[in-house]
Structure 1
Amino acid sequence: MRRFLLSLLLLSVVAVWGWTFVVVKDAVAGYGVLSFLAIRYALATGVLAAAVAWRVRWPSFWAGAGIGLALAAGYLFQTFGLRFTTASHSGVITGLFVLFVPGANRLLFGVRTAPLVWGAIGASLVGLALLSGGAPQGANAGDALTLGCAAAFGLHVVLLDRYAKHHDVRSLVLGQLSAAAALFVAGGLLFERPAWPAGGVWCAILVTAVLATAVAFFVQTYVQQRLPAVPTAMILLLEPLFAALFGRLLHGDRLTGVQLAGAALMSGAALVVELYPLLRKRAGPASAR
């Protein structure tokens, strides 16, 4: 039951990210992506620092800063990749982070992944391809950059899984956001012309900074203290599903039967990974008899 509640908590964060995908898409239509991320993460860092500054544990903060570099690298690869590839390519390739999670876990920390879970990962990627309109065709430089994004996001999940269990959550999150904000500010100054956001953009910044960044990454870090990396990744992979659902509700985007089948496949795969520990426990006593 405790694991189920933690999964629901993380799923609520993923739903928020799916909703803010629609919000951010509207906001950055006329404003620089890196500048948006810079203000969003700087504001989120300030909000969290105001809440926890007197309780910062510096070893945890610096560990979080290192993990935050992987998070920021993922966003930067994704942002620059979108200059050379399509949004559908980006969505499918970014979803490959779920493959990098067990791979990096095995390579860095010797953690094995069960065959059933590998099967669920494969099914979820097929579902993601269906939801996004098909597998990418005609690879280009943007796809390669986006693959770097997937690797960085996968590494972020694995490192968070490894170190969250041994560090203070508040300090770890503050370190992540601080490092990401610093990189985004540098990127915005180097590659974009700084400009004052319009009123609508400010609304999107405030919502995403507080709810989808400060609160969301605190919840993710808290959950990853208690849940393994692969089940976490499977839940995080559902973000495009929520983005599609909110796109339908808020923008009137149409979902075809194929896309709905992809959504169902992704949800089923995530459920299999979630139930796997329970099934394994039940199979244990049965096999012993």
Structure 2
Amino acid sequence: MKQYIGDGMLLITAIVWGSGFVVTAIALDYLNAYQVMAGRFVLATLILIVLFGYKFKTFSKPVIWKGAVLGTILYIAFALQTVGLEYTTPSKNAFLTAVNVVVVPLIAYLVYKRRLDRYEVAGSFIAITGIGFLSLQGPLTINIGDALSLACAVAFAFDIFYTNRFVQKEDAISLTIMQFFTASLISVIVVLIRGDIPHTVEKEALYSIAYLAVFSTTLAYLFQNIAHQYTTATKAAIILSMESFFGMLLSVLFLNEVLTARMAIGATLIMAAILIAEAKPAFPKKQLAKNVR
């Protein structure tokens, strides 16, 4: 039962992140990427402190350093994604970022020698193929923006992987608070160094930052970090890859984009990938043993 609750929370996270594409685009009309990142992380941290400030009493050294590691990785991932977008197309950026679906099981194998589950690996590659159908519009060529987007995918993969490991021993909410506090601190320092403090902020930008902070950051990462207690890192990455599907769906509904056959194929492949990772079809052990004899 807990597994299904965790999967449901990850699905909600994917839906919220899919909606974040439109909201982020609005925010970037008024603020630069570093200001948007600082705004969403700082506000999200304040919200968590108000809601779960009592958690500070139970903070341990492992929670502090693990949360700081997650926050640093998270900021690096967002920074690479944002800067990479300046040199490549949004569709290629989205596709290359989603490569984390494939990277997560490889990290588990290379760093911790976790056995590669063939169904999770198959699901990962099917999911990335589906994301390609959803996102890619032209030929796949590599430039500096693409390279940064690939680096971003690796960073997000590490974030997913280490979140999955850390929440097994530490309180998920405490880790999230420390993660956001670290990302907020880094983002504010970067804005100060760049001299990007805005003198005035339009209300549209404020609404966008509020949405990103409350839903795309606070709610989504709380759900993601809690859900990691009940699932594997690879399965989490596959479910979260549905972000691209919901981004497409919401664009069709609210931005009047045309749903093409290519997009439909991509969505179908992603759904198939999730079913494969969830169901893991296999012969019963008794039948397998009989065949071996």
TM-score, normalised to structure 2, is 0.92
**Shift of the alpha carbon at 1:252?**
0.7
For 2:167, what is the secondary structure of its paired residue? helix
For 2:168, what is the secondary structure of its paired residue? helix
**Shift of the alpha carbon at 1:134?**
4.5
Alignment of 1:102-251 (within 5 A): 102-134=105-137, 137-191=140-194, 193-195=196-198, 196-251=200-255
- Residues 1:177 and 1:285: Cα distance change in structure 2 (over 3 Å): farther
Gaps of 5+ in 2: none
CA distance in 1, matches of 2:171, 2:240: 22
For 2:258, what is the secondary structure of its paired residue? coil
- Report which stretch shifted further, 89-98 or 54-63: 54-63
Map of 1:58 onto structure 2: 60
> Do structure 1's residue 94 and structure 2's residue 97 form an aligned pair?
yes
- Report which stretch shifted further, 42-51 or 188-197: 188-197
**Shift of the alpha carbon at 1:36?**
0.9
**Shift of the alpha carbon at 1:275?**
1.3
Map of 1:77 onto structure 2: 80
CA distance in 1, matches of 2:214, 2:286: 46
CA distance in 1, matches of 2:138, 2:127: 13
- Residues 224-278 of structure 1: CA deviation (Å, up to 9, x unaligned): 01211000000111101111111111111112111111111111111210111xx
- Residues 96-149 of structure 1: CA deviation (Å, up to 9, x unaligned): 111210111112211122223222211111111111135752211111111110
Map of 2:2 onto structure 1: 2
CA distance in 2, matches of 1:119, 1:134: 24
TM-score, normalised to structure 1, is 0.94
Q: What is the aligned residue count? A: 286
* CA contact 2:6–2:228 (8 Å) conserved in 1: no
* CA contact 2:108–2:114 (8 Å) conserved in 1: yes
Q: Of residues 265, 272, 277 in structure 1, which corresponds to 2:269?
A: 265
> Do structure 1's residue 286 and structure 2's residue 290 form an aligned pair?
no
CA distance in 2, matches of 1:106, 1:48: 34
For 1:271, what is the secondary structure of its paired residue? helix
**Shift of the alpha carbon at 1:286?**
3.4
Gaps of 5+ in 1: none
* CA contact 1:128–1:266 (8 Å) conserved in 2: yes
Q: Name the Cα RMSD after superposition.
A: 1.6
What fraction of aligned residue pairs are identical, expressed as a percent? 28
**Shift of the alpha carbon at 1:285?**
4.0
